[in-house]
Amino acid sequence: MTTSHYIAGRWVEGQGSDCISVNDPALGLPFAELMAASVAQVDQAVAAAREALPAWKQTSASQRAAYLRGFAEQLGQRREALITLQMRNNGKPRHEAEIDLDDAIATFNYYADLAEQLPQKNCDVPLAAPGFTARTRLEPVGVVGLIVPWNFPLVTSAWKLAPALAAGCTVVLKPSEVTPLIEQTYGQIADTLGLPAGVLNIVNGKAETGAALSGHNGLDKLSFTGSNSVGSQVMRSASAQCRPVTLELGGKSAIVVFDDCDVEQAVEWIVAGISWNAGQMCSATSRLLVQDGIAEALLPRLQAALENLRVGNPLSEEVDMGPLTSQAQWLKVASYFATAREEGLQCLAGGKALDRDGWFVSPTLYVDVPADSRLWTEEIFGPVLCARRFATEAQAIAEANDSRFGLVATVCSADLERAERVADALDVGHVWINSVQAVFVETSWGGTKGSGIGRELGPWGLSGYLSVKHVTRCLG
């Protein structure tokens, strides 16, 4: 697979110095290789997007909506191939891969609807002063760079690509080097639909390619999802150009369980929050705050539930949790197991890498974890859950908010008035009450504090790719 880059409507071979090895994490073995894009090819992709911008932003809202619905339809037609690729390259269980695909399809259809509503948002503005009229125009921000992560490929790119195209922007998309293949689908669909050349460009590569894109002076906006360490570099690059940036970064999220909660339901919500995608989620609720009155009943059931999760190769067996997606992530999680032993943490379940081919670890539960433990404060990005007890509602809120991150949280309580009150008090971007992490395209996604800048999804996702212009005219 050498023709891995889609630039100006053509598939081209990579000319960079890096060879990207694409792995099956359940086996720990590569199954494809491709050459990274060179810096010159990144320049070509940005230039193609710049050239395509004037015509694309003049297309009607209904035309852009038709293309977006075409993307949704074409994703559905490739359903089995895309599900299988997610299972093979990410290690996702089938049911997770199916939900990811449905999420991407829903995103394109949703922004098709919003695109059609854009003309109505260009409207007159009432003025208090006589003798003047004013009107609003919403215009595309321009050429945007989209850098997406490996934990939710296809989905995260849809969250960025669909609103950008709906707004009338042209795009240069850089997938993760860990999962570069599935985003190729967007280029294939662009060909099928006859999307004008240069509207969508895809360049693959490692750090050199990402740096070339994030620092490119031909971009008008940059949207990045990934780690805080890389996000800070992206932000520095954007600041040099005084360029707007959206950052969706890390999390160390809390799930708060009050003692009036049904124990079995609480266990279900807790397990889903830490084991989905093998815990490789910025939204993983990896800090469990459990009230004293329910702790003795809940923790043994939670231990059993984690130990009973079926962990294995999603392509060869029915599993609840697959492997970690990369060897680097496997080594990172294993290092936290070593740290836990050094800190003397009490482990009720897991706490080890599994002795088998591939990059598997056991679902893990540590209890009575000190608030200054590295495992309590740092994002691990694996199925590692740390628990602490609390006595009062005020204590739960204080401990949940005691984090440099602020992405999401979950509140579990039979007292809905209390649950709503606690949700309002949490310093995060999204709160679930008595639920698994159901994410809907109509709601926003993004966080506070170190979890990022800006919002994706919903109308807020579209507004991030629009520039507001006012035209004021003197009537005299």
The active-site residue, picked from 169, 282, 386, 412, is 282
Please say if 282 is a catalytic residue.
yes
The CA distances from residue 18 to 15, 39, 139, 227, 267, in Å, are 9, 11, 38, 21, 44
User: Which string of DSSP letters, residue by residue, matches 43-105?
Assistant: HHHHHHHHHHHHHHHTS-HHHHHHHHHHHHHHHHHTHHHHHHHHHHHH---HHHHHHHHHHHH
The active-site residue, picked from 96, 183, 248, 456, is 248
Q: Beta partners for 134? A: 472
Position 54: which residue type? P
Query: CB under 8 Å to 31, separation ≥6 — which residues?
Result: 22, 23, 24, 88
Rounded distance, CA 169 to CA 117, Å? 16
Read off φ and ψ for residue 127, nearest 5 degrees.
Answer: -115, 140
CA 451 to chain centre: 12
At 229, which helix (H) or strand (E)? helix 228-240
CB 213 within 8 A of CB 147: yes
Read off φ and ψ for residue 467, nearest 5 degrees.
Answer: -110, 140
Read off φ and ψ for residue 143, nearest 5 degrees.
Answer: -90, 125
Q: 29: exposed, middle or buried (C-beta count within 10 Å: 0-12, 13-18, 19+)? A: exposed
Rounded distance, CA 207 to CA 347, Å? 36
User: Which string of DSSP letters, residue by residue, matches 308-321?
Assistant: T--BS-TTTS--SB
Rounded distance, CA 210 to CA 207, Å? 5
Q: Which regions of 106-227 does DSSP assign to beta strands (E)?
A: 132-140, 143-147, 170-174, 200-202, 221-225
Residue 246, both tokens: 């959206």
Find the Cα–Cα–Cα–Cα dihedral 16, 176, 111, 87, rounded to 10°. Answer: 130
Q: Which residues are catalytic?
A: 248, 282
